[in-house]
Amino acid sequence: MDTFRHPPRRRRILALAFGLTAFFVASCSRPTPPTLKVGINHWPGYEFLFLADEKQYFEQEGVRVQLVEFTSLPDVLEAYKSGDVDAMACTMIETVLAADQSKRQPQVILVTDASNGADVILAREPLQDPSQLAGLRIACECAHLGGYMLHRALSRHGLDFEDVQIRNIDQMAMEKAFKQGEVDALVTYPPVSTRLIRDVHAHVVFTSADIPREILDVLVADKTVIDTQPESVRALLRAWARAHNFHINNPQEAHRIMGNHMGLTPEEFAQSLDGVDLVRPSNQVIYFGPQGRLPEIARLTHQTLRQMGVVQHDLPTYSFVAPASLFAQP
């Protein structure tokens, strides 16, 4: 008796079915890369990450990113220190604080911009210079960017924190406090500064343009994330670069998307960018190259924070700069 054999056409169908089954089984068994959680708050230079999310560039580059929004930089820092997020959009100030106050090892993977006038000290009455802040009630996020700005403004005029009445209030609460007359001045940035200048006619006393290149905004990832998920981090950076290029080629639409997220009109958002020096993808080498600026900026930031008494330890032995292998073509 002959052995039963499937007709040729049926054999091909069965082979295809077995092949597809094997493919889907293999796909399902392949581990899905973990989602990168990025802590972030409102700031014009960070909005390009939201633009990348809106344009679905993260998915297209093959990385899962969750942008975890907070109302202030201190909240972003606390989430990073506690391990609730893998990365954070912040300034070099928060980067140094994270290394000093936790066991995590923050490394800069991207420089978004240098603040050049967008960080401001606003007052209710027009003042000639920061020396006239003496005795006034000032709202700021003390041990963070706000405290750094206030320290630099006061110290340039022979004053210290003891010469003013500091109210440690986060960004959203200080806007209300200023409008209700509970404080005389505040250290802030867009969108809060934009609304106060527009609605309350607050006056600018001091800006980050008075301390050029000191306030650097960055994207920081924990060293363990960079070491274990380098391709996911590279994909995130590619998505950011695409968002940056979209803004260059389609500024009006980009301003509409990013402004809407910050609660600003496209025109107001465009104006907020006047106070920041955006760092293009092609210019990252200025900070990350062999003679890059980041190590020196980290040292100077640490020195100022030490003078303020908010950091207790020496600079960490590891580098604040992500390894060169991260930026090499995979």
Q: Are 238 and 110 in contact (CB under 8 A)?
A: no
pLDDT at res. 32: 66
Amino acid making up residue 155: S
pLDDT at res. 317: 83
Write out the residue limits of the CATH 3.40.190.10 domain(s) in the chain.
36-114+214-327, 120-210
pLDDT at res. 18: 41
Closest of 121, 49, 140 to residue 88, by C-alpha: 49
**What dotted CATH number matches 36-114+214-327?**
3.40.190.10
- β-sheet bridge partners, residue 278: 113
pLDDT at res. 225: 97
- The two tokens of residue 229 are 């998920």
Residues 6+ away with beta carbon under 8 Å from 100: 305, 311, 312, 313
pLDDT at res. 280: 95
* Tokens 């079915």 -> residue: 17
pLDDT at res. 5: 47
pLDDT at res. 22: 41
pLDDT at res. 98: 97
pLDDT tens profile 228-252: 999 999 999 999 999 999 999 999 9
pLDDT at res. 12: 45
pLDDT at res. 327: 86
**With a cut of 50, which residues of the chain have pLDDT below it?**
1-6, 8-30
Question: 152-191: buried (b, 16+ CB within 10 Å) or exposed (e) per residue?
Answer: bbbeeeebebeebbbbebbbeebbebbeeeebbbbbbbbb
Helix 192-199 / helix 171-179 crossing angle, nearest 10 deg: 10
Q: Return d(Cα 6, Cα 58) in angstroms, integer.
A: 47
The fold for domain 120-210 equals D-Maltodextrin-Binding Protein; domain 2 (3.40.190)
